[in-house]
Structure 1
Amino acid sequence: MSIFDEIKKKLSHEFIDIVEWLDTTNDTIVHRFERYQNEIKNNAQLIVREGQTAVFINEGQLADVFKPGTYTLNTQNLPILTTLKGWKYGFDSPFKAEVYFVNTRLFTDEKWGTKNPFMLSDDRFGLVEIRAFGTYSFRINDPGKFIVDVVGTDGNFTNYEINEHLKSLIVTRFTDTVGEANLPIELYAANTSELSETCQEVMQPEFNRVGIELEKFYIENVSMPEELKKEIFEYSRLDKLDMGKLAQFKAAKAMELAAKNEGGTAGAGMGMGMGFVLAQQMGGLMGQPGTQPFGGQPAQQPQGPPPMPTQVTYFYAVNGHQLGPVAFDKLKELFASRTINRDSLIWKQGMASWTALKEVEELKSFLGGNTPPPLPTA
């Protein structure tokens, strides 16, 4: 072997390329391996580390894809590129190709959120506005598709560039999924885990179309206006509490606030008036059948017969003297014994003046054939 052959052999070994990429960032997804005029020498060493994939692009067309490992670049290891180049008998000169290293590790803790509130229709509360935010994680599961459909000729593609697209996709699919779920509005915050899983299933096909796998999707919070929160809270309480008991409780609280009113004489008078009204309402509620006092058993209705009716009594006059009062039966006995007669003056409560017995309606029964004839004259 001549000295020129030895120098040629030595130079060929010294100038064999090593194609590799050491990632010093935390956000790079795709890095293009830069060479002068994109020339790679024959038998160059390709080193693909764990969490990487190397993709060869020839004149804008996807060629070979390499998983983690070390490769010698020749016609045996570049079957598609060899076919595209038309190398039938091998090659010795440098060849042109673009090499893209794709970071296939898991990108975690990526943020998403609704920029503006979106509308939902609820059967009880009507149209409501809600917001949502959370996190997601993804990885590139089809590097070739991802480069062709998303990256293009970008030499340094970061997750910031793809995140804007992914966030828009997430928000769109999230609002569609939530709208079709048709859950009561108060259940969204309580069922974030189930809702997250459903949204992930819906979104996964959209991610796959560009070579991305949605590894995890989390809904951390579903928020709504404070007024709606209070309304939902009150509704849930009303759904659980006894209505009569709640009304009594609110009446008592209002009376307590009225009693504490220190706004002057007018305020005190208004507070007393409200207190009386609320007391009457509260008394009415407590008196209704089936209502319960505060935390107690149903109010017991009084037992026993109604009170006896008040007996009517009469006053009568004999020889210019007022006598009585006596009951109806006693007055009848006095008439039968001729202590009084039909012309005797009688008075009872409710009568305007003394009236002859024969003129009192309920006493006319005394006259029915029971009046003796007048005494014979001597």
Structure 2
Amino acid sequence: MSFFRGQFANVVEWEEFRDDMIFWKWNNKEIKKGSKLIIRPGQDAIFMNNGRIEGIFTESGDYNIESDIIPFLSTLKGFKFGFNSGMRVEVLFVNTKVFQVKWGTKNAINIPSSQLPGGIPVRANGTFSFKVDDYITLIDQIAGIKESYVVDEVKQRISANLDQLLMKWITKEGKDLFNLQANAFEISEGIKEDLDMIILKNGLTIEEFNVMSFNYPKEIQEMITKTASHGMVGDMNRYQKIAMTEAMAKSLSEGGNKSSSAADMAGITIGMNMANEMMKQMKQSDKEGQSTQEKQQSEPPKQENTVPNFCPNCGEKTTGTKFCPNCGYKLV
């Protein structure tokens, strides 16, 4: 504890409040007798002396520091204001709200895929929320050396890890790389857990993390859309032939004018895959047709068994049964 003569403060409050500010430190002034502490809704005030927490006050309102605050401080509870002396402490104001942040990948992430040698370029965006969780850790790791801390600094910390975490959870087994939105919840939950472990070291916690959408290059997105539309009408064989023709025609017409890119490679590769698939289907159809024809040729024509009008044994008129109603002779 230190005592100084000089500038005294009548009011201790969060003077530079901003909605995106996580904490702000009040210091460099001496608190004089009769000073007040103002805590607004959504704020906590932490009294510190020489880096040590003296007391944490969470109820909003106006307080007389001498009568309402000092008696509850750890080592300063016996402090008596002198005639010309004040008490010098630091007061850390913490924003207790849950902060909502939008995020998005700055560059496309190339997801490894056996279908595309260069990988599938994917972008993603969404939201996450966080709040202060541990005051002691926050002070030890950040507030001890910073006068204030804003949301953008947390966003930068998280963004630095997002590409790696997206790659990790997208490439988990069983995910359709052309329909990542179907696994958005699982991917989001995995990233949330990993990010929480990272920022807990700073006294923060992730409340929620969401992937709102995955975005593909225009050419790949068009192929995905066509696949979905043709799949709805159940004519996939026809679509494969059309898509193969479009992809190969485009690659031939543009190949000499444009430089290679992931999109060009995607069109050529998918077109070749579709061509191979169509050839397999044609061969299979030919085999089935040939087998059916050979079977029909090898089988003797079936003769229809009809009942004669009169019994060849007794001459009695028949009634359409297999045996003569008069003599019992077998008719067929």
TM surpasses 0.5: yes
1:134-283 correspondence to structure 2 within 5 Å:
134-180=126-172, 183-230=175-222, 245-246=237-238, 250=242
Distance 1:242 1:16 in 2: 79
Q: Could you give the per-residue CA deviations for residues 260-315 of structure 1, whole angstroms, max 9, x where no partner exists? A: xxxxxxxxxxxxxxxxxxxxx9xx88984657xxxxxx99x999989xxxxxxxxx
1:267-306 correspondence to structure 2 within 5 Å:
288=286
Q: Could you give the per-residue CA deviations for residues 343-366 of structure 1, whole angstroms, max 9, x where no partner exists? A: xxxxxxxxxxxxxxxxxxxxxxxx
The equivalent residue for 2:124 is 132
Give the letter aligned to residue 52 of structure 2.
Q
Give the letter aligned to residue 59 of structure 2.
P
Shift of 1:65: 2.0
The structure 1 residue matched to 2:81, chosen from 80, 92, 101, is 92
Aligned CA RMSD, in angstroms, stands at 4.4
The structure 2 residue matched to 1:58, chosen from 14, 35, 49, is 49
**8 Å Cα contact 1:114/1:132 also seen in 2:** yes
**8 Å Cα contact 2:55/2:74 also seen in 1:** no
Shift of 1:182: 5.5
Question: Who wins on radius of gyration, i.e. which is larger?
Answer: 1
| Distance change in 2, residues 1:28/1:305 (3 Å) | same
| Distance change in 2, residues 1:17/1:181 (3 Å) | farther
Distance 2:47 2:147 in 1: 13
**8 Å Cα contact 2:23/2:92 also seen in 1:** yes
The equivalent residue for 1:112 is 103
| Distance change in 2, residues 1:19/1:209 (3 Å) | same
Give the letter aligned to residue 12 of structure 2.
V
TM-score, structure 1 length as denominator? 0.53
The equivalent residue for 1:375 is none
Identity fraction in percent:
26
Shift of 1:44: 3.7
Distance 1:39 1:128 in 2: 60
The equivalent residue for 1:21 is 14
| Distance change in 2, residues 1:180/1:97 (3 Å) | farther
Shift of 1:185: 0.5
**8 Å Cα contact 1:130/1:222 also seen in 2:** yes
Q: Does 1:30 align with 2:23?
A: yes
The equivalent residue for 1:48 is 39
The equivalent residue for 1:322 is none
Q: Could you give the per-residue CA deviations for residues 9-57 of structure 1, whole angstroms, max 9, x where no partner exists? A: xxxxxx98332236753222222235xx421135643232221111223
Distance 1:176 1:248 in 2: 32
Shift of 1:120: 2.0
Distance 2:203 2:145 in 1: 16
Q: Which runs of 5+ in 2 are unaligned?
A: 1-7, 247-278, 302-332
The equivalent residue for 1:12 is none
| Distance change in 2, residues 1:286/1:208 (3 Å) | closer
**1:132 is paired with a residue of what secondary structure?**
strand
Distance 1:248 1:160 in 2: 47
Distance 1:229 1:219 in 2: 18
Shift of 1:196: 1.7
Q: Which runs of 5+ in 1 are unaligned?
A: 1-14, 255-280, 292-297, 307-378
| Distance change in 2, residues 1:183/1:46 (3 Å) | same
Q: Does 1:69 align with 2:91?
A: no
TM-score, structure 2 length as denominator? 0.59
Give the letter aligned to residue 40 of structure 1.
I
Size of the alignment, in residue pairs?
250
Distance 2:177 2:217 in 1: 12
**8 Å Cα contact 2:131/2:207 also seen in 1:** yes
Shift of 1:206: 1.8
1:301-320 correspondence to structure 2 within 5 Å:
none
